Structure 1
């Protein structure tokens, strides 16, 4: 693996760790204000899936005997997803989290990408789970993990929609 790909790989791990710190801080802030968490039972599967995502990439890289070259097109798509990812997080501000946590009395965020899509962050994560492995020529990972992501979203989105509906109903 080239030094550039190692830098990207380490950046991604660092980014995810920073996001977990932000999510934890936001969670504490919301809980202090009376927020309610829901859908806890499936959250561990997101954590497990995202951890194995990085393990699978490394595994595929190490079993691949060819030298991996960074594709400029895939790198541009990757950079675009990172910009969009930050836009999603910034738009939700203190309400952004990796868990389903709703704060009674809070208004539904409808700015930034949330004014165009209901769940833009999930779309970005799905694209990342496809594009990032392709950058590393980890083709099995690029197929397997977007599918796992969709299966998890099949569980998560209805739970999140229900929580948001209840929040919205309580605000009327």
Structure 2
């Protein structure tokens, strides 16, 4: 299990890196008259992701979940792929990427990188990670509960983001 704790801590460190990029990008978008949407659901999203990381560590330890290589290694590969997709999104959106919904009125939608294929590829990365990270160490209860909670939250988030982008995008 110590290696799994390092994986979860690495994901947590990645989240901190995201927040650093998001803070810098927020300053950039606000300096260009960016408008934030969905402030009410943002703290819930932060709490959900923090609780996910905690439960990823707690369930295997408290419930005695074993590492099953046949499940663990593929799930770990999915976690790595999710991180790669997330950072492809960050790169493609450049200064427009954020953990918050901040849009610059009149800015064109990005159609490069993974946005050529999906409208919200970052959320695909989140969905995969939320399911795969706990399953890498057989934390099936955590995977189930947080996948359902994340689905509810993403329903709110995607509606918010779509509305904000529609309102801000040029005709």
1:106 corresponding residue in structure 2:
107
Question: Match for residue 129 of structure 1?
Answer: 130
Deviation at 1:66, TM superposition (A): 4.9
| Aligned-partner Cα distance in 2 for 1:122–1:153 | 8
2:60 corresponds in structure 1 to 61
- Cα deviations across residues 126-172 of structure 1 (Å, max 9, x unaligned)? 1100000001221111101111111011111111111111112xx23
Structure 2: how far apart are the matches of 1:72 and 1:58?
Answer: 17
Is the contact made by 2:38 and 2:157 (CA closer than 8 Å) also made in structure 1? Answer: yes
RMSD: 1.3
1:161–1:144: structure 2 CA closer, same or farther, 3 Å change rule? Answer: same
Distance 1:48 1:132 in 2: 17
Q: How many Å apart are 1:6 and its aligned residue? A: 2.4
Compute the displacement of 1:85 (Å). 1.3
Where in structure 1 do 4 or more consecutive aligned residues deviate above 2 Å? 64-72
Give unmatched runs, 5+ long, in structure 2. Answer: none
* Structure 1 gap ranges (5+): none
User: What is the Cα deviation at residue 67 of structure 1?
Assistant: 4.3
Q: How many residues align?
A: 169
Partners of 2:164 and 2:66 lie apart in 1 by 47
The residue number in structure 1 matching 2:153 is 152
In 2, the alpha carbon distance for the partners of 1:64 and 1:10 equals 20
- The match for 2:82 is 81
Structure 2 residue 22 is the aligned partner of structure 1 residue 23:
yes
TM-score normalised to the size of structure 1? 0.92
Query: Which residue of structure 2 aligns with residue 38 of structure 1?
Result: 37
Do 2:73 and 2:136's aligned partners in 1 also have CA atoms closer than 8 Å? no
Give the superposition deviation at 1:9: 1.3
